[in-house]
């Protein structure tokens, strides 16, 4: 009999909350019409959409017109970067060396339009090197995009510090908060950025919907034409049920201040304790070592490891993930959005991890669906899989 699967891949996606499924089911039945229609059914859908929008706005302490609903963070990133760059004279775009592939792809599009690209380097823990601030924010930098929390190694970045420096210099700054928001909501203004992106499926909401939040006065140009929905910036009939599901999922998250509490509280009260206890037991295995920052400087649900034989030879992360799945542990090797590649991890490369170890990374990310008893089984399953390589 196969062991029951323990899902430790929250950084890839999360199971939707029962309340989210219920809210979406109700909206599919009662608010199925086009919100732009002026008849009764359309007005019901429009009201449901606006209620969800106000609820979301409250969670980030913004006005509803600062929210742009998209299909997810990838689209939001492209609208943030390409849309803001359209109103700027081409100059330099600064991105971190550990960005999500969506940011890298958008940067390459801007490069084709005459922008130059500079990478903000990170240290051996994956954290941005702040001593590079003056150099990278000098002319001709006009646009900056920095990840708020690195999904592969869990590193929390000093976004508010850099955002303050950008505002002093009149530089537009965007942050991909896709991994940060699932651990707690915050007042958008406190982070200090001009543009913020996120995806609902990372915090137990539905797939296929996300947000771009913009500060007042930040100009954007749409990427496509159409009916002019979302303040003319994202045309297409709004997915009322998906937006309602996203609003419901955000209601379940705790709140925190990203300036005074640089480490978010975690999606549940026990998550950090569970993470720390599991990490201690995993590091007792001689084949595993911590990768990235210390537990008190990373996402509270996140564990990143490098795997090797007892003799010190790096083990293939992708192979380990498959064997762990067969043993009932669902986890990742690298970013789930690029997990189909067997190339060296770009994040581990940027961190200076030696070449042979760049494919040996493992990522475990916990969620409130895991009990202490569930996690008690994980080290033993790891040990049995690792023993097969010895």
Q: Is 185 helix (H, G, I), strand (E, B) or coil?
A: strand
Strand positions, DSSP E, 274-378: 288-290, 302-307, 329-330, 361-365
Please say whether the beta carbons of 105 and 81 come within 8 A.
no
**CB–CB of 234/82 below 8 Å?**
no
Output the six-digit token pair for 117: 């690209």
How many residues does the structure list for the chain? 390
Please identify which residue in the block is written with the tokens 């569970």: 274
Catalytic residue among 166, 291, 331, 337: 337
CB 84 within 8 A of CB 195: yes
The CA distance from 21 to 186, in Å, is 24
Omega of the bond leading into 161 within 30 degrees of 0 (cis) = no
Asked if residue 157 lies in contact with residue 150, where contact means CB atoms within 8 angstroms, the answer is: yes
| Nearest one of 174, 212, 205, 168 to 62, comparing CA atoms | 212
- Model-level pTM? 0.95
> If phi over 0 gives left and psi between -120 and 50 gives alpha, with beta otherwise, what is residue 208?
left
First CA to last CA across the chain, in angstroms?
25
Task: Report yes or no: 263 and 363 within 8 Å, Cβ to Cβ.
Answer: no
- Tens digit of pLDDT at every position of the chain (390 positions): 667 899 999 999 999 999 999 999 999 999 999 999 999 999 999 999 999 999 999 999 999 999 999 999 999 999 999 999 999 999 999 999 999 999 999 999 999 999 999 999 999 999 999 999 999 999 999 999 999 999 999 999 999 999 999 999 999 999 999 999 999 999 999 999 999 999 999 999 999 999 999 999 999 999 999 999 999 999 999 999 999 999 999 999 999 999 999 899 999 999 999 999 999 999 999 999 999 999 999 999 999 999 999 999 999 999 999 999 999 999 999 744 554 556 889 999 999 999 989 999 999 999 999 999 999 999 999 999 999 886
Task: Classify strands 210-214 and 67-70 as parallel, antiparallel or unpaired.
Answer: antiparallel
Map out the domains of the chain with their CATH numbers. 6-15+264-387 (3.90.1150.10), 18-251 (3.40.640.10)
Catalytic-residue membership of 337: yes
């Amino acid at each position: 009999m196969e062991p029951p699967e323990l899902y430790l891949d929250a950084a890839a996606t999360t199971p939707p909350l029962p309340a989210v499924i219920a809210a979406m089911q109700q909206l599919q039945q009662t608010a199925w019409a086009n919100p732009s229609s002026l008849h009764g059914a359309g007005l019901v859908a429009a009201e449901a959409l606006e209620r969800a929008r106000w609820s979301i706005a409250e969670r980030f302490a913004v006005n509803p017109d600062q929210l742009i609903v998209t299909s997810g963070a990838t689209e939001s990133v492209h609208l943030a970067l390409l849309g803001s760059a359209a109103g700027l004279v081409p100059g330099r775009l600064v991105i971190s060396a550990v960005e999500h592939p969506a940011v890298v792809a958008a940067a390459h599009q801007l490069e084709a339009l005459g922008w130059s690209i500079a990478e903000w380097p990170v240290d051996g823990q994956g954290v941005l090197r702040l001593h590079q601030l003056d150099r990278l924010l000098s002319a001709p930098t006009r646009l900056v995009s920095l990840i708020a929390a690195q999904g592969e190694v869990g590193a929390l970045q000093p976004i508010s510090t850099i955002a303050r420096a950008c505002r002093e210099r009149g530089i537009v700054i965007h942050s991909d908060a896709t991994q940060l928001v699932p651990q707690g909501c915050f007042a958008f203004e406190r982070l200090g950025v001009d543009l913020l992106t996120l995806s609902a499926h990372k915090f137990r909401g539905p797939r296929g919907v996300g947000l771009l939040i913009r500060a007042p006065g930040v100009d954007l140009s749409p990427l496509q034409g159409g009916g002019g929905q979302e303040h003319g910036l994202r045309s297409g009939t709004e997915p009322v049920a998906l937006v309602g599901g996203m609003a419901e999922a955000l209601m379940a998250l705790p709140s925190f201040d990203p300036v005074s509490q640089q480490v978010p509280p975690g999606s549940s009260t026990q998550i950090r304790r569970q993470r720390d206890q599991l990490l201690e037991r995993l590091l007792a295995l001689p084949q595993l070592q911590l990768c990235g920052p210390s537990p008190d400087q990373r996402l509270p649900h996140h564990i990143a490891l490098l795997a090797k034989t007892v003799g010190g030879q790096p083990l293939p992360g992708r192979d380990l993930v498959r064997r762990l799945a067969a043993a009932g542990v669902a986890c990742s090797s690298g970013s789930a959005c690029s997990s189909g590649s067997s190339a060296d991890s770009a994040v581990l490369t940027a961190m200076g991890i030696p070449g042979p170890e760049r494919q040996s990374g493992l990522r475990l990310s916990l969620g409130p669906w895991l009990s202490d008893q569930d996690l008690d089984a994980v080290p033993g399953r790891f040990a049995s899989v690792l023993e097969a390589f010895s």
